[in-house]
């Protein structure tokens, strides 16, 4: 879905020169502003509060640019043209106007008539008629990821417009990018100057577990996989399931998407880790996977996820492919409002029983993988 409309009110437009990034028509005259989060109370279904997710999004910009978003828990006037404090809120309307069909959020920039136009305030509104959550990984059909949409909207608040050619969080449509890319950061550097050292305050290690994701249902042979970046060389990545050490996961796989999302880390282009494993060897039910990365400087970082294993008809392994019969199955393709990289094989018969099988494209393995098995 389209992330947002980019509204500009009371501004003087001026032409921008051709650059690799796309600048909006307005920027802050100073290097910081305060975002008021008083209206963002509550938490996502996965447990992260909206304020915490917002703070993480703002930190991604603060740590890697010369601009600072200060955050306040105070409440400010909604939809006010006279209160110049920045208003953040979920709303069922766009301050009196209806949401567009597929609009996730709006950044409304108020600016003074000057050359170049000076931003006076930016209100960010999130479409409360849609489902939201906070998660990493591919965009899920059930809910939009509030954190990455906030990163995008804060890019508008900084003065960036949509970027349609390069890999960027400022792409007009939601996707797998979750953080500012080198392209986005170059745009902010053009507006506010380049940060010394290309950024600061990076965590020594960042590690993401992509398979299994939290709540994911797995079966058969699948991977434990994700990515890890570090300011120093990675020494090892350990895998634990239900607190038992399974072994070390091979790492160093090519991940162009991680390189683009985290250009500040030296090893980001080879950040992938992956190990195939027979999930069917775990008893059907709920388990917790934990990956722990060590770098040569002695830093340690972990990521974990609770997942569920399921089996077709309680069978661990099918050596006879003739037990799978798709002759009477139908393919269900995603409607326009859902991500396009998934499909359902309905009425697949496996060992005499019918299932609906959800296949989802995995960026990490570059394959369609079974995501959910639902008995019919």
Using CB under 5 A, list all residues that contact Zn ion. 3-4
d(C-alpha 335, C-alpha 272), whole Å: 31
d(C-alpha 321, C-alpha 304), whole Å: 34
Distances (CA, A) of 353 to 219, 374, 375: 16, 11, 8
Residue 4 or residue 168: which is nearer to Zn ion going by CB?
4
Residue 53 or residue 289: which is nearer to Zn ion going by CB?
53
Residue 4 or residue 310: which is nearer to Zn ion going by CB?
4
Residue 108 or residue 229: which is nearer to Zn ion going by CB?
108
Residue 289 DSSP SS3: strand
Residue 4 or residue 140: which is nearer to Zn ion going by CB?
4
Residue 156 or residue 371: which is nearer to Zn ion going by CB?
156
Radius of gyration of the chain (CA): 23
Residue 157 or residue 249: which is nearer to Zn ion going by CB?
157
d(C-alpha 353, C-alpha 365), whole Å: 28
| Distance in Å from the first CA to the final CA of the chain | 30
Phi and psi of 355, rounded to 5°? -140, 155
Query: Distance of alpha carbon 61 from its chain centroid, rounded?
Result: 15
Phi and psi of 42, rounded to 5°? 95, 175
Start-end of H helices in the chain: 50-62, 146-158, 182-192, 256-261
Say if CB 71 and CB 35 are below 8 A apart.
yes
Residue 168 or residue 222: which is nearer to Zn ion going by CB?
168
Q: Supply the minimum distance, in Å, between the C-beta of residue 356 and Zn ion.
A: 35
CA angle at 207 for the pair 204 and 213, rounded to the nearest 5°: 160
Q: Supply the minimum distance, in Å, between the C-beta of residue 197 and Zn ion.
A: 29
Q: Supply the minimum distance, in Å, between the C-beta of residue 1 and Zn ion.
A: 11
Q: Supply the minimum distance, in Å, between the C-beta of residue 126 and Zn ion.
A: 12
Taking CB atoms, the residue at the shortest distance from Zn ion is 4
Q: Supply the minimum distance, in Å, between the C-beta of residue 247 and Zn ion.
A: 43
**What is the b/e burial string over 276-298, where b = at least 16 CB atoms within 10 angstroms of the residue's CB?**
ebebbebeeeebebbbbbbbeee
Q: Supply the minimum distance, in Å, between the C-beta of residue 107 and Zn ion.
A: 7
Residue 6 or residue 273: which is nearer to Zn ion going by CB?
6
Q: Supply the minimum distance, in Å, between the C-beta of residue 80 and Zn ion.
A: 22
- For residue 183, the tally of other CB atoms under 10 A from its CB is 22
Phi and psi of 269, rounded to 5°? -70, -20
Distances (CA, A) of 354 to 19, 285, 308, 323: 55, 20, 20, 12
43's CB contacts (< 8 A; 6+ apart) are 49, 50
């Amino acid at each position: 879905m389209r992330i947002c409309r980019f509204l500009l009110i009371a501004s003087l437009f001026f032409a921008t020169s051709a650059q690799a990034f796309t600048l909006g028509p307005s920027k802050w005259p100073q290097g910081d502003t305060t975002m008021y989060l008083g209206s963002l109370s509550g938490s996502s279904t996965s447990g992260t509060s909206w304020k915490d997710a917002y703070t993480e999004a703002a930190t991604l910009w603060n740590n890697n640019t010369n601009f600072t978003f200060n955050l306040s828990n105070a409440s400010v006037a909604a939809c006010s043209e006279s209160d110049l404090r920045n208003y953040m809120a979920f709303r069922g309307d766009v301050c009196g106007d209806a949401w567009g069909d597929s609009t996730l959020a709006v950044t409304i920039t108020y600016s003074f008539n000057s050359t170049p136009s000076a931003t006076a305030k930016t209100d960010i509104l999130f479409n409360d008629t849609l489902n939201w959550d906070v998660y990493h990984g591919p965009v899920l059909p059930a809910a939009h990821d509030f954190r990455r949409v906030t990163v995008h909207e804060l890019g508008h608040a900084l003065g960036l417009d949509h970027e349609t050619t390069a890999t960027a969080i400022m792409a007009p449509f939601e996707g797998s990018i979750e953080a500012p890319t080198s392209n986005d950061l170059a745009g902010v550097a053009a507006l506010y100057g380049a940060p010394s050292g290309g950024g600061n305050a990076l965590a020594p290690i960042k590690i993401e577990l992509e398979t299994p994701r939290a709540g994911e249902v797995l079966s058969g042979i699948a991977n434990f996989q994700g990515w890890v970046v570090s300011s120093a060389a990675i020494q090892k990545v350990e895998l634990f399931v239900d607190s038992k050490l399974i072994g070390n996961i091979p790492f160093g796989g090519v991940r162009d998407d991680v390189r683009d999302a985290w250009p500040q880390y030296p090893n980001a282009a080879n950040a992938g880790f992956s190990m195939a494993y027979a999930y069917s060897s775990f008893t059907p039910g709920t388990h917790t996977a934990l990956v722990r990365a060590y770098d040569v400087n002695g830093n340690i970082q972990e990521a974990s996820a609770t997942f569920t294993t399921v089996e077709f008809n309680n069978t661990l392994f099918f050596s006879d492919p003739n037990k799978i019969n798709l002759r009477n199955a139908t393919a269900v393709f995603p409607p326009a409002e859902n991500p396009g990289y998934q499909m359902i094989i309905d009425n697949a018969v496996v060992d005499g029983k019918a299932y609906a099988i959800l296949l989802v494209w995995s960026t990490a393995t570059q394959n369609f993988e079974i995501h959910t098995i639902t008995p019919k």
